[in-house]
Each structure stands twice: as structure tokens, then as C-alpha cells.
Amino acid sequence: MRVLIIGCGYVGFPLGVQLRKDGHEVFGLKRTAEGTETWLAQGIEPLIADITNPETLASLPTNFDWVVHAVSSSKGGIETYKSVYLDGTRNVVEWLKGSGLKKFVYTSSTSVYGQTDGSLVKENSPTEPATETSQTLVATEQLLLKAHQEFKFPALILRVAGIYGPDRGHLFHQYLKNEARMHGKGDRIINMIYLDDLVGAIISALKGGRAGEIYNVVDDEPVTQLHFFRWLSESVGKYMPPAASEEEIAGRKRGLTNKKVSNRRLKMELGYTFKFPTFRQGYTTEMIRLERAGKLNITHDPR
């Protein structure tokens, strides 16, 4: 297949490497030529364009079989969010419309589920998030589903949980730096996915996913903050994090969701089997990697 990865970063790059290994022809799209030597060394052909600027897309080829849309807002604010996700996706659809594309996979987020009651959420659960960033993702999903309904644009949506893997994983790294805090009783649930399994799930979706459908991409074990830190604490041999102050809790409250995201569709319909079914396998692998690289510097606090 001829595959284009729009946004070839933390997720897109290893995806490209895997697709090359599987024998596909792979192109990656980014805004500047910076760093493309690494892509070329892996056989990934760079295309330079900015999806927020349709003129830069116009001169590029459109003859792809599969497209994966995995750009991020590069930590920008709400305006960047809207311009990259919503306007950018609209531009991409316009650009690829009528091109003979067979499958278009978009990496949305489980943050579209705004539930705060710890309930189990499935792909057909309500998506009414409180934050403007997550509302932008909902609007982007709707744009793609509408394009599928109106002119059979072959889009499908993956709602991706918190990504962790080599050098990525917010709570884990906060914990190692003694910056993690326990919020309340620690009963908020965290949903995660290891990088390699996200790459695997994207490939499964390209091969077997149905256009117009939504699939959650999350591992087998949604876990409370308390249980996550307890496991880390036992594995690393370091104290549990201290409780968050009133101010810290107040500062983070808005938009904090609490839900268990179901992966049943991913497993039953796409037949996906996890390499890292839970954070235990994933973070054990990451800790071994860090330790071997001499980077697991545990600073025991003096309590």
C-alpha cells in the first residue's frame, strides 16, 4: 500500500517504521524539513506542508491508499487546537476528497468522554466534554463522520487513551521526579495505552477497520491513581506521593474526567491482541530500559 502519515511524531514515526517493515511505501508529512534525515534512513519519504495552510497541500501528490492523521497541537493553546485539529482536518479532507483513498484513520482522544462518575464508557456513550480543547476534538470527529456520510470519505476514528512508552508518561515521570501528588483518595481512574499497542491498533484499523466507525484504543486495565502509584511505589521501592494541597486540587479540577474506557470493540471487531495488556507490563519494560540506560535515578525523599 501507499501510505501517508500526516504528523509523523512520537506515534507517527514508529508507525511509519513498522509499515516500512511490513513492506508498504510510506510518506510522512510535516511542516519543515528539519529532522527528515532520520525518516529517510528508515525509508520514509518526507512531504513538507502545513495542514492549516491549504495552499501548501495543493502541490502534493494525493494517490495514497491509506492515510493516518496524527498531528498534534504541539502543546499550543485553544486557538492552535482549533486551527490544527478542526481547520487542518477540514483542509485535509478537501485535499484528499475524490482521490481514491481506501482508508483514513484519525487519532482522536478518550478526552471526548466528559464523564466524571467512574462509569464504563463505550464508543456510543455521550461525548459532552467540559473543556474547549476536547470539544474541538468532538467537532473534528463530527466533521469526519459527516464527510463519510455525505461523500463516502473513508474516515474512521480511534479514540486514544493516555499514551505512554519510551520517555513518555506524565504521572510516571512526575512520580520519578518527586512531583506527583495524590488527589483526594486517589480514586480517579486513569486509562492508558502503550505506544507499540497504539501503533498496532492503527495498523489493525487500516487493515480491518470500517469507515464511519469509532474504536477506543485503551489497554485492559483502567486503574485508579491510588492503585497506579501503589504499584509504582512497590516496583521502584520509593514512597507513595504526598497528598495534593487544596490549591493544587482547585487548579486541576476543571475538565478532570473519571471513567473506565472500554476496549471491547478493538479486541472483538478488530481482533487486536495487546503486547502490553496493562500498565504493569508497559512500565516494567520502560523501567528496565531506563535502568539499562543509567537513567532510572530514584531520589528517595527524606520522610
Binding residues (CB under 6 A) for ligand NAP: these are 7-12, 29-32, 50-52, 70-72, 74, 84, 88, 107, 109, 160, 162-163
Looking at the Cβ atoms of 143 and 240, the one nearer to ligand NAP is 143
SS3 126: coil
CB of 10 to ligand NAP, least distance (A): 4
SS3 98: coil
Partner residues linked to 265 by β-bridges: none
CB of 114 to ligand NAP, least distance (A): 15
Q: Which residue, among 12, 16, 23, has the nearest Cα to 51 in the 3D structure?
A: 12
Please check whether residue 250 is in contact with residue 182, taking contact to mean a CB–CB distance below 8 angstroms: no
Q: Which residue, among 111, 131, 125, has the nearest Cα to 255 in the 3D structure?
A: 131
* Alpha-carbon span 200 to 165, nearest angstrom: 14
CB of 81 to ligand NAP, least distance (A): 9
Looking at the Cβ atoms of 192 and 211, the one nearer to ligand NAP is 192
Looking at the Cβ atoms of 33 and 250, the one nearer to ligand NAP is 33
Which residue of this chain has its Cβ atom nearest to ligand NAP in the complex? 9
For residues 142-156, one letter each, b for 16 or more C-beta atoms within 10 angstroms of the residue's C-beta and e for the rest, the string is ebbbebbeeeebbbb
Report, in angstroms and rounded to the nearest whole number, the Rg of the chain calculated over CA atoms.
20
Looking at the Cβ atoms of 56 and 240, the one nearer to ligand NAP is 56
CB of 90 to ligand NAP, least distance (A): 12
Main-chain dihedrals φ then ψ at residue 151, nearest 5 degrees: -140, 30
Looking at the Cβ atoms of 24 and 31, the one nearer to ligand NAP is 31
Partner residues linked to 156 by β-bridges: 105
CB of 247 to ligand NAP, least distance (A): 26
Looking at the Cβ atoms of 54 and 243, the one nearer to ligand NAP is 54
CB of 9 to ligand NAP, least distance (A): 2
